[in-house]
Amino acid sequence: MSVAAFGPDGVPNEALRGMLCCPGCGGERLAWESGQGARCPECGGWFPWRGGSWFAVVPDASWRAVVQDTVALFMDFTENRDAVARLAGGDMQREVENFREEHESDRDAVFREAWEHLNVPREARILEIAAGDLRTAARLWHDGYRPVCLEPIPEILGRGEFDRETSIPRVCGSATRLPFRAGSFDVVFCQAALHHLDAIEPVVREAARVLRRGGMFLAAAEPYSACGSSIERIRGHLRDLSFDMGLNERIPRFGDYVAALRGAGLEEVRSFTRAGDVRVPRRLGWASGLLARAGVARGMRMRVRHALTHGQSSLVARRGGASIAAPVPVRPAEYCFDPADYIERRARAGLVGIWKALMDATEVPTAIEVGRNDLFELRRGFEPLQRDASEIAFRWLIARGAFFLRVEAGARELVADVCLPPGGPAGCDIEAWAEGDSLGVRQLAAGNDWTELRWQLRPGGEMRIVEFRLVCEALRPLGGGRFGSVKVRRVGAY
């Protein structure tokens, strides 16, 4: 069997061409242009070739979670890197590196153990979705496998630090619209990816569609919440940078994963932990979840309180014989945003604009009340404090914290309820920004009392979603890259 690959000019060889299709309409007659990309003659979609990757981007509502993670993980960290390094003496950079190493090394170990159970032959056709920096794919390549990789975030996919000696086919696209024909793969897998999605089943259904009958699906290292546990409770037990930076962390229940796999036509669902594997009975998914959580707690030496709120498992299932329909076609005239804005990274404002266009305005609050509405999706750069009722607040994690508010047509002011506890600087300046425009600087004196700072809003004729920023350059590091001088417990547009 010949190895599926893109040529240096971006044109796929025969093996790969026989697997690809239009992600918008499913058409199989893609017209390839050397060094440029492919056009679908059926729907008119254009999918360019850039920097060694094929961009099969079809902008629909499923991209909201991807754009959120892109803005939170890359744009904000990049903007704050210099300020963080100056204020924390490099501690923040070390924390980021420790975060990546801890998560990735653990994830790799969990994946390897689950992969060994599959006994995948070297000639198998393999697809990794949400492939990240190709760390796992490169290792599989050096072990004799020949995977194809799909990743939605170009900054990760384009790193190339793990695939310099390989010819791994790289596709930038969404797992809800895989640009592959039905039955193209023997194995489809992902790692710690499904819990970042707004909905699991559309991705699993697409994975099942591109699997041959009898093919295997593996979702490795997926966290899940315990029965009755909330995302706020889980977050209260974790010191996780992904929450603080505003990534799209969902943490579904164990039964949600199982239901999504079975709803997509996958069978023989098994749960793997470091303590062993469990066959998930059809009517006892909740009991298997308890067993899986207990296994994770033993195998990973997690603290008891963590095991009571959440666990981690790898799920394996086999593709059944039922036919699976392709996603509803989306033509260029129906795109939610211009794919070039996402692909070319024309400006940060363009990415935030895409995110705003994909957000449901009714879910965006007019005021952030810490402890009352869950805002880890809508704010970035603030760390929640939940030690006791008197200290329910956010404190700055980075110097330029960002958040979204719904601004009604008659709103006139941005009001922030803030505090600068004694023991640090005598005072500090806080500057507010709205959509890249400064609203002015306000002074905050040290003291135990909460103070209302107000900024005049520019008039607007209609309700809108606005990205605000509170910038405080004079923060005092607490250690570990975190800052504790200034706290905010409420901010709103009135």
pLDDT of 208-257, one tens digit each?
999 999 999 999 988 887 655 555 555 544 444 455 555 677 778 888 89
| Domain 63-319 class, CATH top level | alpha beta
Does residue 363 surpass a pLDDT of 90?
no
Which pTM does this prediction carry? 0.81
Q: Is the model's pLDDT at 164 over the cut of 60?
A: yes
Token readout for 334 is 């129906």
Domains in the chain: boundaries = 63-319, 360-493
From CA 25, how far away is CA 327, in angstroms rounded?
8
Whose CA is closest to 26, among 180, 204, 201? 180
Question: What is the CA 323 to chain-centroid distance, rounded?
Answer: 30
Average pLDDT, rounded, for the chain: 79
Helices (H), 318-448: 339-343, 348-358
Judge whether 241 and 267 are in contact, CB under 8 Å.
Answer: no
Alpha-carbon distances of 372 from 67, 331, 369, 375, 394, rounded to whole Å: 26, 41, 6, 9, 12
Does 360-493 carry CATH code 2.60.120.260?
yes
Q: What are the pLDDT digits (tens) for 43-100? A: 999 999 998 899 999 999 899 888 878 777 665 555 555 544 544 444 555 555 555 5
- pLDDT for position 15: 95
